[in-house]
A and B are shown apart, each in its own frame.
Chain A
Amino acid sequence: MAGLDPLTLDGTRSSPRVEGDPQAGVLRLSGDSYPENTFEFYAPLLRWLSALVEHGDGPLRLEIGLSYLNTGSIKSMMDMLDLLEEAHVAGRPVAVVWRCDPEDERAVELAGELLEDLTLPWEIARCGAA
């Protein structure tokens, strides 16, 4: 999408690596997510995703490859998924892929719980964190 800068954040021990590609319409999160100020961390990501949804009509794809999420991060995932669900209902092509360590049943269960009510196409890929 023209006008929106790519979003790149290096991962740390407690915050995920973030790769936002406006051209491809992809936002990718990988690593662990338990930053000290979770909502402050995710606010710019949500703004970026919101801009991506509002100012374009190309396909959107969210790839989540997070091993551990604190409660604030789960809330932020819900907010992102709600944004994309609205875009999907409005007719935008949207896809969500949640990558889980196949050995980690808890992660698979969490992903399932967050995705189950959505009407947009989603997939839980048991192939390890991205």
Chain B
Amino acid sequence: MAVPERILERIEALRGLAREAGSPLAEEVAWLCDSYLKLENNMQKLSRVSDRMQSQIMTLNDRLAAAAVTDTLTGLANRRGTMERLAVLEQDAESSGFAVMLADIDRFKAINDNHGHEVGDMALVEVARRLSVTLGDAGMIGRWGGEEFLAVLPVPDRDTAQGWIERLHDALRGAPIDSPEGPLAVRISSGACWHRPGRALMQTILYADRALYASKEAGRDCGLWWEEAGQAGGRA
């Protein structure tokens, strides 16, 4: 207990004076002195407990903030987390833009229907892992929703982005995904769009989504840029 020395000294001096004065003053003063010390003790205990609670709340807040932007199944950023990252990139005035790629697992419903949702979840986790490992620090992959992933590619130009898109497709073409139901050949289709500064982010994502749709129409397991979605070129 850390009652300041100067207060303790005066309390003890007061007790001495009261003892000399005799009862009932001595008892009353002793009671008051004890009460003061108990109060001081309680206050310190309360501060300690309250400080601990505050630090626990801060830790929980951090966890909550992380959970709010994380997809629980795959551990990737969820849609909110992905949008936050995109918003940060958009704020970069120096940037000449970046690429956004939307990827969707081909015939995912069939995986769920034929092998069950557990295997479907395993496929989602493995696709997320492969895309994320392949891209590494070059960008970020988020789970956009369902079986759809969004890759943010903050690279200098479209050609570099195209290289990454091809590597992301190849990450799934390389080897089937192991599952209790046997190896699964899982593929993605993708659509990409270069985000130009000044354009609304959601517009860029909408264009990438249209290109993704065009990839599905073109036979799946391929990628198209929005700028070329109506033409033959731009495939990954």
Contact = CB atoms under 8 A, between A and B. Distances in A.
Interface stretch (A19-27, A37-45, A55-63, A109-117): A109-117
Nearest to B53: A71
A74 B50 contact: yes
Interface string A87-130: 00000000000000000001000100110010000000000000
B45 A113 contact: yes
B203 interface: no
How many of chain B's residues touch chain A, expressed as a range?
10 to 19
Interface string B39-60: 0011001101110110010000
B56 A106 contact: yes
A78 B49 CA distance: 12
Interface in B98-150: none
Dominant SS among interface residues on chain B: helix
Contact of A113 (B38, B49, B56): B49
A120 to B, nearest CB: 14
A74 B49 contact: yes
A106 B57 CA distance: 12
B55 to A, nearest CB: 11
A82 interface: yes
A75 B42 CA distance: 8
Contacts of B45: 78, 113-114
Given A82-B38, A117-B41, A75 B46 contact: yes
A114 B49 CA distance: 9
B44 to A, nearest CB: 11
Contacts of B50: 71, 74
B212 to A, nearest CB: 45
Among A78, A82, A110, A114, which residue has the most Cβ atoms of chain B within 10 A? Answer: A78
Interface in B162-217: none
Contacts of B56: 106
A75 B41 CA distance: 12
Interface in B12-59: 38, 41-42, 45-46, 48-50, 52-53, 56
Interface in B48-78: 48-50, 52-53, 56
A71 B38 contact: no
Interface string A45-82: 00000000000000000000000000100110010001
Nearest to B47: A71
A76 to B, nearest CB: 11
A16 to B, nearest CB: 17
A14 to B, nearest CB: 16
A110 B49 CA distance: 7
B57 to A, nearest CB: 11
23 contacts: A71-B46, A71-B49, A71-B50, A71-B53, A74-B46, A74-B49, A74-B50, A75-B42, A75-B46, A78-B42, A78-B45, A78-B46, A82-B38, A82-B42, A106-B52, A106-B56, A110-B49, A113-B45, A113-B48, A113-B49, A114-B45, A114-B49, A117-B41
Interface of A: 71, 74-75, 78, 82, 106, 110, 113-114, 117
The 7 A-B residue pairs with the shortest CB-CB distance in the complex, in nearest-first order: A71-B50, A78-B42, A74-B49, A75-B46, A110-B49, A74-B46, A113-B49
Given A71-B50, A74-B46, 6 more contacts: A78-B46, A82-B42, A113-B45, A113-B48, A114-B45, A117-B41
